[in-house]
Amino acid sequence: MSVAIKPPHVPPDFPARKLVNLPQPLRLYRGGLIAKPVVAYESWGRRSPADDNTVLLFTGLSPSAHAASSALDPAEGWWESMIGEGRPIDTQRWHVVCINSLGSPFGSSSPLSIDPASGRPYGTAFPLLSVEDIASAAREALHALGIARVACVIGPSLGGMTVLAYCVQYAHEVDALISISGATSASAQAIALRALQREIVRSDPEWRNGAYEPGRGPRTGLRLARKLGTVTYRGAREFDTRFGRRRVAEPGAPDGEPRPFEVESYLEHQAERFSQVFDANCFLALSRAMDEFDLAEHGSTLAAAFARLRGMHSLVIGVETDILFPIHQQRAIGSGLEAAGAEVEFHAFPSEAGHDSFLVDLARFEGAIRGFLARR
């Protein structure tokens, strides 16, 4: 993604962002209520009169709804080459809606929003967020916009989990799905890594139990957590090729200390950028939601949950070097859908960039997505 660096915890401005005030309070999946829910989104292309061409896009944990540039916001989006005229998600045919996840700092209701009960930002008083809520907020937003059906729901990473949460809750309103490096539930190792990231944030004294002032907060904790995230998002072979043991060019400390490695400088750059635009309480809520998600809760067994997706046209993509959403989890999504009688196209890409390959190794993903959508 490419977002301008702003002062901490001031969400960046996205000129193309649109807001939907949902007409009803939003009841959350694990209890809790958002009294005045707002969903931020961006859109590209035009709705067909028959309401049969909406592609719904969910994001990973970090990005905003600015997936691609538009006349309203010419800045490059996080999936710029994927969306547009003649692109894999071709806006000459499709009406694309990218949803900013509930809980994210980039426009939708989140810990940064004003709690009507207190008149102050929710902070840690934001009710326990689930992936199902990201899906249901999006669904209510579409309905508020008069969109009753989704031709295809797409998402990578957290967005892939959200695709499953959307389809299992609203299967009768969806024709097709594209799951990219998602999971029916987090692996124990992914839980360990994300729980550690959250503890790192909360261990920063500036977190102040979540009651930091807007514009302040646990910047160091967020920076360290993002470094850990970045390592898990990428590939070991990719790091060896890109960075190896090269050192940064600056001279070492005066006492002859060896210079830092380039890979350290790369992590610093990624983490600094993230910690300047992302809110800590939002991070904690979204990260936690990923660990708590379990598709199997939507049936007596996981297979029973998948059975709700019978007949869904499905494209499932995973990456062999992904350590956070490993390839066996992608195969499990594919075989779960198949066992439920869904039509499944499955790809295990050998990309070297790990979990983030959908942002990097674009040719492979573009080809598969273009082909799948062309057959719809």
What amino acid positions are annotated as catalytic residues?
Answer: 157, 322, 355
Report residue 273 CA to chain centroid gap.
17
Cα–Cα distances (Å) from 336 to 57, 288, 296, 301, 306, in that order, read: 22, 24, 11, 11, 6
Scanning 114-122, 137-145, 260-268, 335-343 for contacts with its own copies by CB under 8 A, the matching segment is: 260-268
Asked if 141 and 43 touch (Cβ cutoff 8 Å), the reply is: no
| Residue 187 contacts its own copies per CB under 8 A | yes
Q: How far is the CB of 33 from its own copies (least distance, A)?
A: 14
The only residue of 240, 341, 343, 374 in contact with its own copies, by rule CB under 8 A: 240
Q: In this chain, which of 10, 260, 327, 364 binds its own copies, going by CB under 8 A?
A: 260
- Cα-trace Rg, the chain: 20
- Assess 131 for contact with its own copies (CB under 8 A): no
Q: Of the candidates 145, 231, 248, 360, which one interacts with its own copies according to CB under 8 A? A: 231
Name residue, tokens 């004003």. Answer: 114
Least distance (Å) from its own copies to the CB of residue 260? 8
The least distance separating its own copies from the CB of residue 147, rounded to whole angstroms, comes to 33
Query: Residue 66 or residue 198: which is nearer to its own copies going by CB?
Result: 198
**Cα–Cα distance for residue pair 90/183, rounded to 1 Å:** 27
295 binding its own copies? (CB under 8 A): no
* Contact residues for 49 (Cβ-Cβ < 8 A; gap 6+): none
Is 50 near its own copies (CB under 8 A)?
no
- Residue 335 has φ and ψ, to the nearest 5°, of -75, -30
In the chain, what is the straight-line distance between the N-terminal and C-terminal CA atoms, in Å? 28
Residue 348 in contact with its own copies, rule: CB under 8 A: no
DSSP 82: G
Binder of its own copies out of 7, 23, 31, 251 (CB under 8 A): 31
Residue 350 touching its own copies (CB under 8 A): no
φ, ψ for residue 177, nearest 5 deg: -140, 150
The Cα-based distances of 372 to 13, 175, 375 in angstroms read: 33, 13, 5
243 contacts its own copies (rule: CB under 8 A): yes
Q: Considering the rule CB under 8 A, would residue 319 count as an interface residue with its own copies?
A: no
* 145 Cα distance to chain centroid: 22
Does 242 interact with its own copies (rule: CB under 8 A)?
yes
Token pair recorded at residue 43:
């859109």
> With respect to its own copies, which residue has the nearer C-beta, 284 or 369?
284
Task: From 78-86, 101-109, 164-172, 291-299, give the range in contact with its own copies by CB under 8 A.
Answer: 291-299
Instruction: Using the minimum distance from each CB to its own copies, give the nearer residue, 145 or 248.
Output: 248
189 binds its own copies (CB under 8 A): yes
* Sole binder of its own copies in the list 195, 248, 327, 362 (CB under 8 A): 195
Burial 84-111 (b: 16+ CB within 10 A, else e): beebbbbbebbbbbbbbbbbbbbbbbbb
Backbone φ and ψ for 24, nearest 5 degrees, come out as -125, 155
303 binds its own copies (CB under 8 A): no
Q: Which of 39, 40, 2 is nearest to 24 (CA)?
A: 39
- Options 3-11, 85-93, 134-142, 219-227: segment touching its own copies (CB under 8 A): 219-227
Indicate which single residue of 244, 311, 341, 367 sits in contact with its own copies (rule: CB under 8 A): 244
Size of site (CB under 8 A) for its own copies? 45
Q: Is 103 helix (H, G, I), strand (E, B) or coil?
A: coil
- For its own copies, the binding residues (CB under 8 A) are 30-31, 128, 185-189, 191-193, 195-196, 199-200, 203-205, 220-221, 224, 227-228, 231, 234, 236, 239-240, 242-245, 256-258, 260-261, 263-264, 267, 291-292, 294, 323, 326
